[in-house]
Structure 1
Amino acid sequence: MATPRWIGWLFLLLLVYATFRAVLQLAYIRPSIYIRRTLTQYPWQLLSGVPRGRNKHPQVQENEMWLELPNPEEPEERIPLLFLSSMRTFWWMRRFGTSRTKPEVKAQIEPLWFAGDPRFVAVIAATGRTGKGPRRLHLLYQRTATGRRGIEPTDWRASPAALERARRSGAHVPDGVRQYPHPS
């Protein structure tokens, strides 16, 4: 007895879908390497009440979702980190929410797991369902940290140790970053 023709079409459809998903995963290899390098250099921190928005931030040109995180060298200064468009931002976009978003959806990213330096590169994550450990890891970076044009971080002074740590995490540290003088 011969196999029905529709089974062949079903397997062809599944093969096309599997190929599509494999190509999507290939696009995530580079960010996952940056996430791993960042996590080897910076410890996780739990942050509460992080300012965030889905509209244009006043300090940047792009109209992207953003978080404001404290500058490690000057905690009173806030540095915007943008969610540059990718296919993996939809989950985060729903949690940033609008005025009509349910509070329990927004609460899924409170507190926020954070590792990195917002002047260069960072990893954020949501708290797992069991309340233990991070999940939904997402890489955020300043465009200049990848060697592209973006926000000029010349006023985000960094110590030589912070610059070296950012380099070890894989960030491109632009020449324009002002260093704090070495302590005498």
Structure 2
Amino acid sequence: MLMNVIGQAGWVAAFPGLLYVMVVFTSQAYVLIFVPFLLYSLYRAVMQISYFSWAARMRCILQEYPWQIIKEIPRGLAKHPEATDEAAWFEFRDPDHRERKVPLVFIRHQRAHWWLKRIGNVRTKPALKAEIEPLWFAGDPRFLGVIAASTAGADEPRRLHVLYQRPVFDSGRPLDTRGAGIADVDRARRAGARYLDGISQSPA
């Protein structure tokens, strides 16, 4: 959240700052050089606002679910055969049915470049892939969760990112919970999941 506040202040200040430099100190011949930077700073100032809601969602998830450290978790950039969205993914085990595989897809690509680069493919350097091995995870893959990495030898989670099943935040799609109990659904709702009222529930 602190980084979001700093980023918001920085990008808000960047636009008038660049505009002032362009008007006061730059000749007309160089105005076009500043236009892309002005537009980008305005874009980032607007986009930065959306990060606050995701930081709040992350906090709700972490208040409800403890961290797990998972080794050798399957991952990929191509579409997962059991996912409806075509994007990079991590594959988790169903908490109640360990034989079932549950993919969590990177639906939002904002701030995901770091992760996508390390999920990689056969040509990705092993040193990069090792930065997300093991993986930190807090959540229920049937609904939503937070992933994190231990970077630079740190012994605590870094680079936190929210992953979720699209129907959790999209009322127009059905959510496949396959055996999630009432307690599981209620816990996911407390963690910030939405649109769970219409799904079938089985006793925990």
TM-score range (shorter-chain normalised) is: 0.7 to 0.9
Indicate the larger mover: 139-148 or 113-122. Answer: 139-148
Give how far 1:20 is off. 3.7
Equivalent residue, structure 1, for 2:185: 163
Give how far 1:21 is off. 3.0
Equivalent residue, structure 1, for 2:26: 6
Give CA deviations for 1:24-75 in whole Å, capped at 9, x if unaligned. Answer: 3112112111101000000111001111110011112321111111111112
Q: Please, what is the CA RMSD of the aligned residues?
A: 2.5
**Equivalent of 2:61 in 24, 34, 38:** 38
> Unaligned 5+ residue runs, structure 1?
none
User: How many residue pairs are counted as aligned between the two chains?
Assistant: 178
> Unaligned 5+ residue runs, structure 2?
1-23
Equivalent residue, structure 2, for 1:121: 144
Secondary structure class of the residue paired with 2:158: strand
Give how far 1:94 is off. 0.5
**Equivalent of 1:54 in 73, 77, 84:** 77
Cα distance in 2 for partners of 1:115, 1:52 equals 17
The 1:6/1:64 distance shift into structure 2, 3 A limit, reads: same
The 1:164/1:57 distance shift into structure 2, 3 A limit, reads: same
Equivalent residue, structure 2, for 1:27: 50
Cα distance in 1 for partners of 2:70, 2:111 equals 22
Task: State how 1:1-184 maps to structure 2 within 5 Å.
Answer: 5-6=25-26, 18-150=41-173, 152-155=175-178, 157-172=179-194, 173-180=196-203
Cα distance in 1 for partners of 2:197, 2:90 equals 22
Cα distance in 2 for partners of 1:18, 1:51 equals 37
**CA contact 1:145–1:174 (8 Å) conserved in 2:** no
Indicate the larger mover: 44-53 or 129-138. Answer: 129-138
Secondary structure class of the residue paired with 2:73: coil
Question: Which one has more relative contact order, counting CA pairs under 8 Å at least 6 apart?
Answer: 1
**CA contact 1:97–1:106 (8 Å) conserved in 2:** yes
Cα distance in 2 for partners of 1:83, 1:24 equals 18
The 1:66/1:161 distance shift into structure 2, 3 A limit, reads: same
What is the identity percentage for the equivalent residue pairs of Structure 1 and Structure 2?
41
**CA contact 2:75–2:90 (8 Å) conserved in 1:** yes
Secondary structure class of the residue paired with 2:112: helix
- TM-score, length-scaled by structure 2: 0.77
